[in-house]
Amino acid sequence: MPSDWERLSTYPTLVEAELALARLAQAGIEARVHSDDAGGAYPVLQNHGSRLFVRPDDAEHARAILEEPLDVEGHVESAEVLAAAEDEVSTRAGGRRLAFSASPGRVVVCILLFFLLGFLAFRADVFTSN
């Protein structure tokens, strides 16, 4: 980072640093996040955490903002609104609820298994008629 920026804090994950960045942006403080993870391609490289930088003139005010507890009271009007929001988030593709989720490893194993079964059936002449 250039010398005109001061490191305010270091966070263990990029998500936490981005949340702090959003809080500062909401307060009108310019901030930047620096993370050594090849632009997000290799998050495992993030062994030094994600660093949050601000201008030196804003450092004291930024620390005060980040030390304040989040006020989440009053942001959800009612249980019905919360339920509707959760339903909207969990619903995709024209209103159908997504019920199937599989890891990429399981998908690859299934594809290989079906390929092997097809190959064995072909070798046993299952698909040919006599």
| Residues linked to residue 2 through DSSP beta bridges, in sequence order | none
For residue 75, what pLDDT is reported? Answer: 61
- The one-letter code for the residue type at 125 is D
CB of 63 closer than 8 Å to CB of 55: no
If you classify domain 6-67 with CATH, what class do you get?
alpha beta
CB of 10 closer than 8 Å to CB of 52: yes
For residue 93, what pLDDT is reported? Answer: 42
CB of 77 closer than 8 Å to CB of 28: no
Per-residue pLDDT tens listing for the chain (130 residues) = 456 899 999 888 888 888 899 999 989 999 998 887 666 666 666 667 789 999 999 999 999 999 988 766 666 566 776 677 666 655 544 454 445 566 778 888 888 998 898 888 888 876 666 5
- Enumerate the domain spans of the chain: 6-67, 102-130
Residue 104: strand, helix, or coil: helix
Closest CA to 68 of 26, 107, 102: 26
- Read off the tokens for 34: 């620096």
